Amino acid sequence: MKPTVLAFSLLSIAPLAAADSPYFDQELPGAKAKLFAKDTVSVTGRYEYGIAFSKDLDEMYFSGQQDGKPAAIYSSKLVDGAWQPIKQEAFTKGQKAGEMQPFFSPDGKQLFFTAYNADFTDTKFWTVERVADGWGAAKKLASPINDSEVFYSTLAGNGDLFFTNIIESSVYHAPLVEGEYPKVDEAGIEFGIHGFISPQQDYLLVDAKAAGGERKDSDIYVYFKQPDGDWSKPVSLGSEVNSTHSETVPSVTPDGKYLFFSRYDEEGGISNFYWISSEVIDEVRPAPKLTGPYLGQKPPGKSPEVFAPGIVSTQLRDYSGFFSPDMSEFYFTRKARDENKWSLISYKNQNGNWQKQSTEPRVGRPIFSPDGNTMHLGKQFKTRTADGWSEIKSLGAPYEDIRIMRLMSSAKGTYVLDEATRDGSGPIRYSRVVDGKRQAPQPFGPEINAGKWNAHPFIAPDESYMIWDGERTSGYGDNDLYVSFRQPDGSWGEGINMGDKINTEVAEGGAIVTPDGKYLFFNRTGDDGNGDIYWVDTKVVEELRYRDANNLSATATPLEAKIKHWNMPDIKRNFWHIPLLAQPWVDAKPSDKNDGIAVGELGVDAGHTKAILALTEEVADKQHDKLDSLLIAHKGKLLFESYYARGRIDLPHPQSSVTKAYTTLALGRAMELGYLTLADLDKPIVSFLKGIDRSKLGEGADKITLQSALDMNSGLQISDEDDGKYDANPEKYSGVGLVQAFLEDTAPITDDSRRFEYLGANPIMVMQVIESLVPGSAESFVRTEVFGKLGITNYSWRNDASGLARGETGSSLTSRDMLKLGILVMNDGQFNGEQLLSQEFVQRLKQHNLSLTDQQSQDFYSGANLSNPGYTNYWWPFDMTVGDKTYSVTSAQGAGGVAILVIDQLELVIVVTGHTRESFLQMAAEKILPAFGG
């Protein structure tokens, strides 16, 4: 960094003139560099360096420095057409002496800057977040980036951060990963500091001491990204930028039009801002040598990448990239800078090298017919001739009366076409050829024409699927890409949003699949109107084939994981609307999802692979067709994971009465933290609850103990009529009012009534006890001290009439999170080395506090290998017999076949979910235990 000093000038205190240009009302430069905003921004006697404009070009931030003093950040905003007086910022509020080199995040919601101490130590990156009235509190960037001394951060369009490591005097790169910067790599360039990365990462600007010769000043160089992903040799920006003075800290405006830099040309070696047309960068860009398929570009995976950055995708608006059917030609359209003119640009593969061909005005939205002999141009077309293309012709009526943007055809001759309207209501239509005669265009149904702005349809050559862009309330922001698959009966399936890897808050559109079927091309256009062409592996399309319109699949998306099973009012769905998987999702070597669950491999760590896989074949053959998931862990390692029917890996499954077992675990956690003791379990429930009017209680109700409620032998008797009124009048039974009602409405409690009776009021009362004992609320306690300790965040838990989480039912967890709770119980209250529940408390879950009668056993259990059923603390102990061996099982069970099975003798935890009236316990005894030595 050049300056440590800066001269200071009084700032203007009156608003500046009305803006004729968005660049601080300055006359635009051309191919020659000009001083920027003399006497207002570029002030005599002050060093200026590092300027940043907002994406809308209505805010400007820059750093200035007075001789001998730390740097400061200055700003101005465009308000009502006039730039406001420049003011000095103080983002760190005195925590740091110097602040400099501001830079906006791509979405404009963050401002990155460098801050340091008065002695120029602890030079780190800080950020501020945009709030309603400006910027929030400054925070030091939490990233390994700040493990060293750093300055000058710039961000690419995807959020990747490039910066200078002061110690190494080199440019580094930190990719953005799920909103963070977890790792740092060298940028891989020969030399240079103050690296500015272009939005598409197709070039990198730096400054460096002039190479070769006797000059000692810094010049600005550019590196270009090569097709293999490496950076080119550095190229000087030439004499229009570089002079006999030093030039440093380059940056390009968000619209890509102008290059800013600092030139140290003032007396005393002080710097001022200069600017010049960014075409100076393109002028030194070497002509690319494009060899191999796809213009020599490295194919992407299942994450979209910019196609041919700097060649096809530039800082202009580039759109609609498509290949000819034989893959020998590539076409795309581009909008001219500052003009509303579009051009059609083409490349042709000649002897293995791609050569740029002629540029011509764009007509319609060009796209090939499957045979390559016709180029459709909206309502017009042209055909291939021996020496090129025919004259443009009209499709005639009725197409000439429709404002068509894109029209394309399938291999069967079917046309699909859109219609541009002012209000976005134009439908996507189709026109088939029947008995050699083309039919009149007809609109598709609501599966495709839902929402508005539906446009740019792509139909697969075999008509097996369609992709288009449109705007729906369930989308990610602006237009998204949607896909619909042809159903076996010939109809079209509901449009499926292509997910958050494809769609963003800005507009995606113009989808086209390459003729070889391998890659999906589409456009992503920002708020500034400029856009790039992206491509991605078409596996992303195939992975959607078995999803429904709510994007539900075996490998759920983050958006999907937020959906609650029983309450999806926006899309009017519930658990029973989740589509059945077309095929099982089975993994005998589960992946490590960094969720706190250790993983292993079936057949290697334990278990007989063939036996378990044979069970999955039975499921596929509909022998267990209402099974939703099956997970098996041995010695704390997940060895087998599978999903069927309505099961999903990241979608919480209704737990039904397994919820009661979770209520017990919450009580045990409160006990471990000292909010009650084991002895307290024998105290009356009313002793824990404030506000209970004991004078109104039914006979014997005041004697119901916490333990008797946990064992379902409290003697409480609630009629069906009374039970129905609680949920119907929730306002009347809020808080302890619901428990008051139970204890008032119960029939007299006698020795005869104190028997096992499966009644939901019991766990509701226990949840009220938890609410009364723990700090805060029962809901927050469960969230932080129970589920939170296990890393369980993707869950739901419905409230009862009292307003508390239901103690008896209504929770929903993923199968993996159910497994964590089973491992917790198997390990006597420990999870990943932390004792969350006392060993003594967990042992109580494994004892038979009471046994079931023969009739109760028949009601709750069925199967030749199941015996000795009991009940304790909302958990179900019983025995499984395999051959001549008997194993004690501790289980949590709920309707639908949902269960957590803990078999200590085999160090086995089994999780099952389903949607059936039957249980899967006998299946586990017959099929799973023998595979693990049972």
CA max distance for the chain: 105
Cβ contact 609:602 at 8 Å? yes
What spatial distance separates the first Cα and last Cα of the chain, rounded to whole Å? 71
Residue in the block written with tokens 């996507």: 428
At 808 the three-state DSSP class reads coil
The pLDDT of residue 210 is 63
Cβ contact 413:433 at 8 Å? yes
- CA angle (58, 281, 3) in 5-degree steps: 65
Q: What integer is the mean pLDDT of 740-756?
A: 90
At 76 the three-state DSSP class reads strand
The pLDDT of residue 7 is 28
Q: CA nearest 738: which of 799, 683, 676, 660?
A: 799
Q: How far is CA 268 from the centre of its chain?
A: 52
Q: Rounded to an integer, what distance in angstroms lies between the CA atom of residue 440 and that of residue 397?
A: 9
Name the range with the highest mean pLDDT among 254-258, 334-338, 369-373, 518-522.
Answer: 518-522
Cβ contact 170:187 at 8 Å? yes
The pLDDT of residue 751 is 86
And the tokens for 397? 């009526």
The pLDDT of residue 2 is 39
**217 Cβ partners below 8 Å, 6+ apart?**
209, 210, 244, 245, 246, 247, 264
Annotate 588-647 with DSSP letters as a single string. SS----SSS-EE--BTTTBS-HHHHHHHHHHHHTTTTTTEEEEEEEETTEEEEEEE-TT-
Residues in the chain: 934
- CA angle (514, 516, 518) in 5-degree steps: 70
Q: What integer is the mean pLDDT of 619-626?
A: 68
Q: What integer is the mean pLDDT of 709-725?
A: 84
Q: How far is CA 555 from the centre of its chain?
A: 13
Above 60 in pLDDT, residue 184? yes
**31 Cβ partners below 8 Å, 6+ apart?**
240, 276, 277, 279, 280
Q: What integer is the mean pLDDT of 846-871?
A: 79
Query: 3-state DSSP: the chain helix, strand, coil percent, rounded to 5?
Result: 20, 35, 50
Query: For residues 444-454, b (16+ Cβ closer than 10 Å) or e, as one string?
Result: beebbbbbebb
| SS (HEC) of 449-460 | HCCEEEEEEEEC
Q: Rounded to an integer, what distance in angstroms lies between the CA atom of residue 698 and that of residue 474?
A: 51
At 491 the three-state DSSP class reads coil
Q: Rounded to an integer, what distance in angstroms lies between the CA atom of residue 82 and that of residue 72?
A: 23
Phi/psi of residue 421, each to 5°? Answer: -135, 165
Residue in the block written with tokens 């098996």: 632
Lowest mean pLDDT among 329-333, 353-357, 486-490, 856-860: 856-860
Secondary element (H or E) of residue 532: strand 531-537
Cβ contact 803:810 at 8 Å? no
The pLDDT of residue 550 is 47
pLDDT confidence bin for 774, thresholds 50/70/90: very high
| SS (HEC) of 878-927 | EEEEECCEEEEEEEEEECECEEEEEEHHHCEEEEEEECECCCCHHHHHHH
Above 90 in pLDDT, residue 723? no
What percent of the chain lies above the pLDDT cut of 70? 91
Q: CA nearest 629: which of 595, 582, 578, 585?
A: 585
**R_g over Cα of the chain:** 34
The pLDDT of residue 216 is 64
pLDDT confidence bin for 722, thresholds 50/70/90: confident
Q: Rounded to an integer, what distance in angstroms lies between the CA atom of residue 71 and that of residue 99?
A: 6
- Which residue(s) pair with 78 in the sheet? 83
pLDDT digit string, tens, across residues 879-934: 999 999 999 999 999 988 999 999 999 999 999 999 887 778 999 999 999 999 86
Q: How many helices (H) and strands (E) does the chain have?
A: 15, 61
The pLDDT of residue 489 is 80
Cβ contact 931:608 at 8 Å? yes
Q: What integer is the mean pLDDT of 650-674?
A: 93
Amino acid type, 326 = D
The pLDDT of residue 555 is 43
Annotate 221-238 with DSSP letters as a single string. EEEEB-TTS-B---EE--
* Sign of the CA dihedral with 44 first, then 47, 50, and 52 last: negative
| SS (HEC) of 31-71 | CCCEECCECCCECCCCEEEEEEECCCCCEEEEEEECCCCCC
Above 60 in pLDDT, residue 217? yes
Beta-sheet pairing, 637-643 with 598-599: parallel
Residue in the block written with tokens 């005669």: 437
Q: Rounded to an integer, what distance in angstroms lies between the CA atom of residue 631 and that of residue 379?
A: 56
Cα pseudo-dihedral 656, 660, 661, 663, rounded to 10: 130
Q: CA nearest 763: which of 703, 813, 811?
A: 811
What percent of the chain lies above the pLDDT cut of 90? 62
Lowest mean pLDDT among 42-46, 145-149, 420-424, 471-475: 471-475
DSSP E strands in 738-809: the ranges are: 796-797
Cβ contact 700:750 at 8 Å? yes
More confident of the two residues 40 and 847: 40
Annotate 152-198 with DSSP letters as a single string. EEEE-TTS-EEEEETTTTEEEEE--BTTB----EE---SS-EEEEE-
Above 60 in pLDDT, residue 565? no
Mean pLDDT of the chain: 87
Q: What integer is the mean pLDDT of 322-330?
A: 92
The pLDDT of residue 574 is 59
More confident of the two residues 317 and 76: 76
Q: Rounded to an integer, what distance in angstroms lies between the CA atom of residue 533 and that of residue 304?
A: 10
More confident of the two residues 726 and 782: 782
Above 70 in pLDDT, residue 625? no
Amino acid type, 51 = I
Residue in the block written with tokens 């005599």: 44
Q: Is the peptide bond before 398 cis (omega within 30 degrees of 0)?
A: yes
**779 Cβ partners below 8 Å, 6+ apart?**
797, 804, 805
Cβ contact 204:223 at 8 Å? yes
**485 Cβ partners below 8 Å, 6+ apart?**
464, 465, 492, 493, 496, 544, 545
Above 80 in pLDDT, residue 364? no
Above 70 in pLDDT, residue 21? no
Q: Rounded to an integer, what distance in angstroms lies between the CA atom of residue 786 and that of residue 821?
A: 10
- CA angle (516, 522, 527) in 5-degree steps: 170
Above 70 in pLDDT, residue 149? yes
The pLDDT of residue 311 is 85
Q: CA nearest 375: which of 322, 425, 436?
A: 322
CA 290 to each of CA 198, 307, 312, 314: distance values in angstroms, whole numbers, following the listed order: 21, 13, 12, 16
Amino acid type, 154 = T
